[in-house]
Structures are given as structure tokens and as C-alpha cells.
Amino acid sequence: MTPSALRVGLIGAGVMGRTHARAWAGLPGALVAMYVPDEGARTLARQYKLQECERLEDLFAQVDAVDLCTPTDTHLPLTLAAASAGRHVLCEKPAALTLEDAVGMRDACERAGVRLFVAHVLRFFPQYRAARDRVVAGEIGSPRVLRLSRVSTPPTPGSWLLDEAQSGGVPLDLMLHDLDYARWITGEVASVYAVQSRQEGKVMVQATLGHSGGAISLIEAGWAAPAGVFRTSLDIAGTTGATEWNSDLPAGLRRYGPELAESAGEQVGASLPPLEGDPYADELHHAYHALQHGLPFLVTPDDAVAAVSLGLAVQQSLNSGQAVTPRPVPAVRVPAVQERA
């Protein structure tokens, strides 16, 4: 039996709203409506021939799921409203600015019988996904040291991202990508220590994560690059090999290990062909397919809550100058049947 098509409604017409609208275009018929509180949203809705809804209630009435591409401090109330209307929620990362709000989003969806997917897009970037595949396949042994970097031009003056009360700043908005990825690769985090540098509107944060299994992640992230520059890199060293990638280089993911050196004489590494894909389309199409078929999400609600906990731990360490233990992810609390009545 062919699963029925799902109708998706978009909320948010900023950079990520436009990015998601473009990604949804690769799945014809999925994105059908948009909340249009202003002219910018109307323009985007008309560009993609979406039904224009002036009230959230009107949007919820037209769709099965909503895609939230709004500032982080709006995620909780919008998720609560969507869940109350019985609509699935796809939400840009981070889930929220506090652990309590992230847990509230997760539990509200659980109580309403709808699903929550938080778009941690780094898991869908082909190089990062391929690197994890190699770790899972045992090609580098047990991962021991991760080095992850993400440095970009500061947000445009006036951007809501620069208001840390709305965005959480570098730890919760930018570094969060790599915090989630490090946990995905090497498991839970037992300790976080972070330092930062701020100068003339630029900020750079460096964090050391001690994982429960003994691995260490060294992560740097910052709004500190010159205009137009965005650089990322990964380097995962294991007990029998390593793999790395740098956005400055045209080559694909590189892998190192004794078997490569033995088979190639003096050669100590091998470069793969460039890896291709649209991670934003891949993540949204994955979420859509999982909703259609009742399959697991690659990013669970608990993963999203844990990422918020790690971002907050970085903030806490920056404020205290001390290593901190991330707060654990609370279990889902669904009211008993008598409480629901």
C-alpha cells in the first residue's frame, strides 16, 4: 500500500526559510502552504506558489506538518501550538535556548502523538556522514581524538543572530553543529571546558570535550573570518587510522592507516572523489520519508535536547572559567491517562 502524501507548511522567510523552501522544491507537492505575517513571507510564498495563510490556525488546518525556520526563541511556542493542533514539527536547530524549553518541545509532541525532528544538518553533509560511516565500519579503529573547526564571517549587522538572547551566540548557534557531531561519533560527554576571544565584533570559541568512553573532542567555532569566508574541517584519529576533510581542499574525504601505507609503498593516504549532495534537501526529504513510513529519524528528539545541553555547558564554562558537566537529558514525561482526561 502506497503511503499517503504529507502536506507541509513553512513558517519563516529568512535565510533558512528560503533555503528550506528551495530544498522542498525537490519533493514536488510536499510544501503546500506558508504562514505570511509580512510582505517578505508573501513574496516567498508566491515564488513557490504556496497557499498564503495569515493566521497560524489557518496554516495548521491545511497541513500535516510544519517546518519552523524562525529565530530560536520562537521555537517553543510555535512547537506547542503545532503539537496542540496535532501537527508534526520539523524545526531548525537548535531546538531551544534552555534545556527546559527543549525538553518541553519534545514532551509536548510526545503527549500530542506527533513527531519532532530538529534539523541538525551537519549529519547530512556527505563528508561528515561518510566519515562517521567509516568510524562505524571500524576502518579507523576506536576514535580517540576529534578535531572539528567551523569559522565564518560574522552575521550581518542588525541580524537577530548577534542578539545572544535570541540565538545563544556561537555556542548554541554555530558550534552546536560540531558539538552534536562529536557526540554522534564518540558518544556521551562527561566534561566540557571552553575559552573564548572577543575583539571588534568578532568572537572565537574553543571547547574541549571529554567523552565518557575516553575520547577527546577539540572544537573551535567562531564568527571571526574575513568577509565572505566560511571554513570547516574535520579530523578523526582512531586507534588504527584516521580520516580528515577540509573545505579549502577540492579533494574528497581522506583516510590514513597502516594497510594503505603497506599497499602503496611511500603513499600514506588516499583521497576519494569529491562527495556530492544537498544536505538541506537530504535532511528534509529524510524527515518527510520517515514521517510517511513511520521510520526513525536520524536525529532523535533526545539528540536535539542533548545538543542544547552541550551548548549550554560551553556557555557555562565560558562564564565560570571552569570545566563543567553537561546536564543529562531527562526522560520523557507523558502524563498518565487520568491526567489527560
Same domain assignment for residues 219 and 232: yes
Same domain assignment for residues 221 and 129: yes
Same domain assignment for residues 143 and 276: yes
Predicted confidence (pLDDT) at residue 305 exceeds the cutoff of 80: yes
Measure the CA–CA gap between 180 and 252, rounded to whole angstroms: 22
Q: Read off the pLDDT band of 248 (50, 70, 90).
A: confident
Same domain assignment for residues 59 and 148: no
Is-contact 102 304, C-beta < 8 A?
yes
Measure the CA–CA gap between 12 and 16, rounded to whole angstroms: 8
Counting the structural domains of the chain, the total is 2
Same domain assignment for residues 90 and 136: no
Predicted confidence (pLDDT) at residue 279 exceeds the cutoff of 90: yes
DSSP-derived secondary structure letter, 74: G
Q: Is residue 340 domain-resident? A: no
Measure the CA–CA gap between 195 and 150, rounded to whole angstroms: 15
Same domain assignment for residues 144 and 103: no
Question: Can you read off the three cell numbers belonging to residue 140?
Answer: 579507523
Single-letter amino acid, residue 53: C
Q: Is residue 267 domain-resident? A: yes
Same domain assignment for residues 56 and 194: no
Instruction: Show the domain range for 217.
Output: 123-280
Same domain assignment for residues 111 and 199: no
Same domain assignment for residues 96 and 129: no
Task: Indicate the pTM of the whole model.
Answer: 0.91
Reported as a single tens digit per residue, the pLDDT across 162-213 is 999 899 999 999 999 999 999 999 999 999 999 999 998 899 999 999 999 9
Same domain assignment for residues 141 and 161: yes
Beta-carbon contacts of 20 under 8 Å, excluding residues fewer than 6 positions away, are 10, 12, 67, 69, 92, 280, 284
Same domain assignment for residues 257 and 141: yes
Q: How many residues does the chain have?
A: 341
Single-letter amino acid, residue 250: P
